[in-house]
Chains A and B, each alone.
Chain A
Amino acid sequence: MIEHLDLALVNWSRAQFALTALYHWLFVPLTLGITFIIAFMETLYVKTGDPEWKKTTKFWMTLFGINFAIGVSTGIILEFEFGTNWSNYSWFVGDIFGAPLAIEGIMAFFMESTFIAIMFFGWNKVSKKFHLLSTWLVAIGSNLSALWILIANGWMQSPVGMHFNPDTARNEMIDFWEVFLSPIGINKFLHTITSSYVLASVFVIGVSAWFLLKGREQLLAKRSIIIAAIFGLVSSMFLIYTGDGSAYQVAQKQPMKLAAMEGLYEGSEGAGLILLGMPTPGKEINDGKDDYVFKFEIPKLLSFLGYRNADAFVPGVKDIVEGGFEYEDKNGEIQIAISALEKIEKGKLAINALSDYKKAKELEDLVKQEESLIIFRENFKYFGYGFLNDPESIIPNVPITFYSFHIMVALGFWFILLFALVLFFIFKDKLIGKRWFLRLAIITVPLAFIASLSGWIVAEVGRQPWTIQDLLPTVASVSQIDASAVQITFWLFTLVFTALLIAELKIMFKQIKIGPKEGGH
């Protein structure tokens, strides 16, 4: 099938989706995290009655409002793209996506929209406790909205709980709980929200550091820094835990992604985790070149993290393409991995069987229908491979995945150090005098966004060529539309989103400069 496709169409469609998803994600994590920080501050206001806490709460609420207003509904564009550019994919996923997205839409509308109005308009109009409850519900509601999106994304990374209907060419959910409680989806949700808490904490510390540098709003800044640093530090611990869980799931379900994250071409037992390294540029399997130009690694750690066994074999890119290594299946039995070429052959058998089944159905040939279905079901787990011709096309972009992963991890550890140092300087009462550190805290704010976006690049680039792991590659997911139409909307989105980003930054900076004040938002 691949030769019938316009690769320009596939690439432009991918670029457009990546652009809109990344821009959308610039707005989301701050909302997910800062709402909890605001809720903590308002809780302290309600408990103490101290008007400075109210002023602090309202100031951060205004910044949240700016981010929320500019970012709201940017995600709807992704849904437009599903229907227009990715129609085969949208049809193929069937109701697996429909149910979580519908729940997300209803929850987001009722939980967020209703309680956000009370949060902003309700001061002095509803009781303090009801206002506080609304603030907490905004925080919880926005995080629950993310839950459903991430469960849907988790299903794409590891499709479970469904049955493919060959009559309609759609997947049908047969076990909601298997989809909802998929370990890869749950880990993804927890890792994503905790990373958002860390990002919001860095944001609050950075803005507060600016006030301290300017000698303004010192009480507000110090209190905000303490809350954000404690929240950020606790979230970071949980982030490491969920990151470990995510890596373990990736090792089990998406070993190619793990190999790309570590730039590992040749697998080994007792594989080390790369602390710092540079994959060999232009490296291909079987070219005889070393995997890395240089590397510093922690011995055996990758094996331990991926398989809970320091001596376990971690397959590299080459092993996954060529097969032949032993692995433990979900029933705990040892299996020999088959090669990508064999998977491609099985995938083609499944596609042919689907075609034969459809023809036999038209001819009302019941025997042929049954025969075709047996072949189809035997080979369905490799269905997506049938759209590929070259075994090496299952390799994602290794350098992008490797560097994104290592940038994300390195920055994550820098944020932990930042939170710890902030608390250390606060308790030693030396923070205001450390001007170099305050400047560093401001510079760290954009780094938190870079880390967050890098995480998504690892998750999505690392699982290429798949839109649905093993079942549907990007080349088979796109609609047959004109590539030039996709190019036009790509540039249109670049324009619209950049304008929105500039608007957000301008309004946000202006509001920070104005600082906290009483009155409306």
Chain B
Amino acid sequence: MKKGSIFKRIFLFYYEGFKNMTVGKKLWFIIIIKLFIMFAILKIFFFKDFLNNKFDTEEEKGDYVIEQLTKGL
């Protein structure tokens, strides 16, 4: 059998591996649902990076944290 390029062989390795899965298909379904919930719902709607979302520069972020740490004394 003539061997194809390395990329084709890698593709076929994964393709056939996924195709022949038994338990794995159900697990991949759970993984995809889980990653969707985590990245498309939780990260976007609930877990915005607080400092990145509020400030543009590193200096502004640093100033804000210093203000937070030193206020009230």
Residues of A within 8 A of B (CB): 1, 3-4, 62, 65-66, 69-70, 72-73, 76-77, 80-81, 83-85, 87-88, 90-92, 117, 120-122, 125, 167-170, 348, 351-352, 354-355, 358, 386-387, 476, 479-481, 485, 488-489, 492, 496, 500, 503, 507, 511, 519-521
Is B52 part of the contact surface with A, judged by Cβ < 8 Å? yes
Q: Is the CB of B24 within 8 A of A120?
A: yes
C-alpha spacing A120/B18, complex, angstroms: 10
Is B49 part of the contact surface with A, judged by Cβ < 8 Å? yes
Q: Is the CB of B23 within 8 A of A521?
A: yes
Across the interface, which residues of A come within 8 angstroms of B73, CB to CB?
1, 348, 351-352, 355, 386
Q: Determine the residue in chain A with the shortest Cβ distance to B41.
A: A492
User: Can you report 7 residue pairs joining A to B where beta carbons are below 8 Å apart?
Assistant: A65-B24, A80-B38, A87-B50, A88-B68, A355-B70, A507-B23, A519-B20
Q: Is the CB of B50 within 8 A of A66?
A: no
Across the interface, which residues of B come within 8 angstroms of A520, CB to CB?
20-22, 24
Known A-B contacts A70-B30, A76-B38, A520-B21; A84 and B49 likewise in contact (beta carbons under 8 Å) = yes
Residues of B within 8 A of A (CB): 13-14, 16-18, 20-24, 26-28, 30-31, 34-35, 37-38, 42-43, 46-52, 58-59, 61-63, 65-66, 68-73
Q: Is the CB of B14 within 8 A of A117?
A: yes
Q: Determine the residue in chain A with the shortest Cβ distance to B68.
A: A88
Among B47, B52, B58, point to the contact of A80 (Cβ < 8 A). B47
Q: Is the CB of B72 within 8 A of A1?
A: yes
Across the interface, which residues of B come within 8 angstroms of A117, CB to CB?
13-14, 17
Q: From residue B73, how far is it (CB to closest CB) to chain A in Å? A: 5
Among B37, B43, B71, point to the contact of A1 (Cβ < 8 A). B71
Q: From residue A348, how far is it (CB to closest CB) to chain B in Å? A: 6
Q: Is the CB of B34 within 8 A of A169?
A: no
C-alpha spacing A125/B66, complex, angstroms: 57
Overall SS of chain A's interface: helix
Q: Is the CB of A507 within 8 A of B27?
A: yes
Among A4, A348, A481, point to the contact of B50 (Cβ < 8 A). A481
Q: From residue A472, how far is it (CB to closest CB) to chain B in Å? A: 9
Across the interface, which residues of A come within 8 angstroms of B43, CB to CB?
80
Across the interface, which residues of B come within 8 angstroms of A73, CB to CB?
34-35, 38
Q: Which 8 A-B pairs have the closest CB atoms?
A: A121-B17, A69-B27, A355-B70, A87-B50, A80-B47, A83-B49, A520-B20, A1-B72
Across the interface, which residues of B come within 8 angstroms of A90, CB to CB?
51
Q: Is the CB of B72 within 8 A of A4?
A: yes
Q: Is the CB of A170 within 8 A of B38?
A: no
Q: From residue B12, how far is it (CB to closest CB) to chain A in Å? A: 9
Among A83, A169, A476, A521, point to the contact of B62 (Cβ < 8 A). A169
Known A-B contacts A358-B70, A492-B42; A83 and B22 likewise in contact (beta carbons under 8 Å) = no
Among B20, B65, B72, point to the contact of A91 (Cβ < 8 A). B65
Known A-B contacts A88-B68, A354-B70; A65 and B27 likewise in contact (beta carbons under 8 Å) = yes
C-alpha spacing A134/B39, complex, angstroms: 30
Q: Is the CB of A170 within 8 A of B62?
A: yes
C-alpha spacing A511/B27, complex, angstroms: 12
Q: Is the CB of B50 within 8 A of A84?
A: yes
Q: Is the CB of A72 within 8 A of B31?
A: yes
Known A-B contacts A169-B62, A500-B30; A519 and B22 likewise in contact (beta carbons under 8 Å) = yes
Across the interface, which residues of A come within 8 angstroms of B18, CB to CB?
121
Q: From residue A303, how far is it (CB to closest CB) to chain B in Å? A: 38
Q: Determine the residue in chain B with the shortest Cβ distance to A493.
A: B42
Q: Determine the residue in chain B with the shortest Cβ distance to A520.
A: B20
Q: Is the CB of B24 within 8 A of A169?
A: no
Q: Is the CB of B30 within 8 A of A503?
A: yes
Across the interface, which residues of A come within 8 angstroms of B63, CB to CB?
358
Q: Determine the residue in chain B with the shortest Cβ distance to A85.
A: B50
Known A-B contacts A70-B30, A73-B34, A511-B23; A354 and B50 likewise in contact (beta carbons under 8 Å) = no
Q: From residue A508, how far is it (CB to closest CB) to chain B in Å? A: 10
C-alpha spacing A122/B20, complex, angstroms: 12
C-alpha spacing A4/B38, complex, angstroms: 32
C-alpha spacing A88/B61, complex, angstroms: 10
Among A1, A77, A507, point to the contact of B26 (Cβ < 8 A). A507
Q: Which of A77, A80, A480 has the most CB of B within 10 A?
A: A80
Q: From residue B13, how far is it (CB to closest CB) to chain A in Å? A: 6
C-alpha spacing A521/B24, complex, angstroms: 6
Among A120, A351, A500, A507, point to the contact of B69 (Cβ < 8 A). A351
Q: Is the CB of B61 within 8 A of A492?
A: no
Among A70, A72, A355, A492, point to the contact of B46 (Cβ < 8 A). A492
Q: Is the CB of B34 within 8 A of A500?
A: yes
Across the interface, which residues of B come within 8 angstroms of A168, CB to CB?
58-59, 62
Across the interface, which residues of B come within 8 angstroms of A80, CB to CB?
38, 42-43, 47
Q: Is the CB of A4 within 8 A of B71?
A: yes
Q: From residue B25, how far is it (CB to closest CB) to chain A in Å? A: 10
Q: Is the CB of B72 within 8 A of A3?
A: yes
